[in-house]
């Protein structure tokens, strides 16, 4: 293998925002009087906000939501989530992550983010990691979320590399399937 680039998932690999996602989904679920727990939250890892909302709504027993209503609910969750992200600071990233990224760059590897999150740049700015990455492919520039490989294919393209020249570092099943 001639690996020239590494594409990292963001949530769960570079930073840990699971608790913020959980709190935001829980707040929305509580408002809608929907049962929501950690097990349900774990099903949301690595998939889009709209797909996550559909899973959350599996436990909803009221009137059916229109697509427009669902988009408003997803935006509401994201508003909660973004307010929680304001608490993120550089020390929310481990020294090991920072030193690993620095060493990989020193070895001449190109680094990218491949995340379904539409908040990737905000998070990277808050933790002061944006400068470590040569490219970012995220929820703002993809049509299909993981397990579709689009986010990783675009990351490789942004690095000006073929997918065969890249390796993916991922923690969620949907992302691992997309990487394969």
What is the average pLDDT across 10-18?
92
Beta carbons of 55 and 37 less than 8 angstroms apart: no
Nearest-5° Cα angle at 162, 157 to 167: 95
Q: Compute the radius of gyration of the chain from its Cα atoms.
A: 17
What is the average pLDDT across 116-134?
95
95 is catalytic: no
Which string of b and e fits 132-159 if b means at least 16 CB within 10 Å?
bbbbbbbeeebeebbbbbbbbbbbbebb
Sequence-ordered list of residues with C-beta below 8 angstroms from that of 19, at least 6 positions apart, any chain: none
What confidence category does residue 153 fall into, taking pLDDT thresholds of 50, 70 and 90?
very high
What confidence category does residue 47 fall into, taking pLDDT thresholds of 50, 70 and 90?
confident
For residue 5, which of 89, 82, 114 has the smallest C-alpha distance? 114
**73-121 tens-digit pLDDT:** 999 999 999 999 999 999 999 999 999 999 999 999 999 999 988 899 9
Q: What's the count of helices (H) and strands (E) in the chain, helices before strands?
A: 8, 4
Beta carbons of 161 and 5 less than 8 angstroms apart: yes
Give pTM, 2 decimals: 0.85
11 is catalytic: yes
For position 18, what pLDDT does the model report?
86
For residue 80, which of 39, 143, 32 has the smallest C-alpha distance? 32
- Residue of 11, 37, 69, 75 marked catalytic: 11
Beta carbons of 10 and 135 less than 8 angstroms apart: no
- Residue of 9, 18, 134, 138 marked catalytic: 9
From CA 126, how far away is CA 148, in angstroms rounded?
Answer: 28
For residue 25, which of 72, 65, 64, 81 has the smallest C-alpha distance? 81
């Amino acid at each position: 293998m001639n690996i020239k680039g590494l594409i990292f998932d963001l949530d769960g690999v570079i930073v840990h925002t699971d608790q913020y996602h959980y709190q935001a989904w829980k707040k929305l679920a509580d408002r809608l009087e929907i049962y929501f727990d950690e097990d349900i939250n774990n099903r949301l890892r690595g998939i889009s906000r709209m797909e996550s909302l559909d899973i959350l709504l599996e436990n909803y027993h009221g009137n059916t939501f229109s697509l427009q209503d669902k988009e408003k609910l997803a935006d509401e969750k994201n508003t909660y989530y973004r307010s929680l992200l304001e608490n993120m600071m550089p020390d929310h990233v481990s020294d090991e992550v920072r030193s690993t990224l620095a060493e990989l760059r020193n070895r001449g590897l190109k680094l990218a983010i491949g995340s379904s999150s539409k908040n990737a740049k905000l998070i990277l700015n808050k933790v002061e990691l944006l400068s470590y990455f040569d490219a970012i492919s995220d929820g703002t520039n993809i049509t299909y979320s993981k397990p579709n490989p689009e986010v990783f294919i675009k990351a490789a393209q942004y690095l000006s590399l073929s997918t065969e020249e890249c390796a993916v570092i991922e923690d969620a099943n949907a992302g691992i399937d997309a990487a394969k």
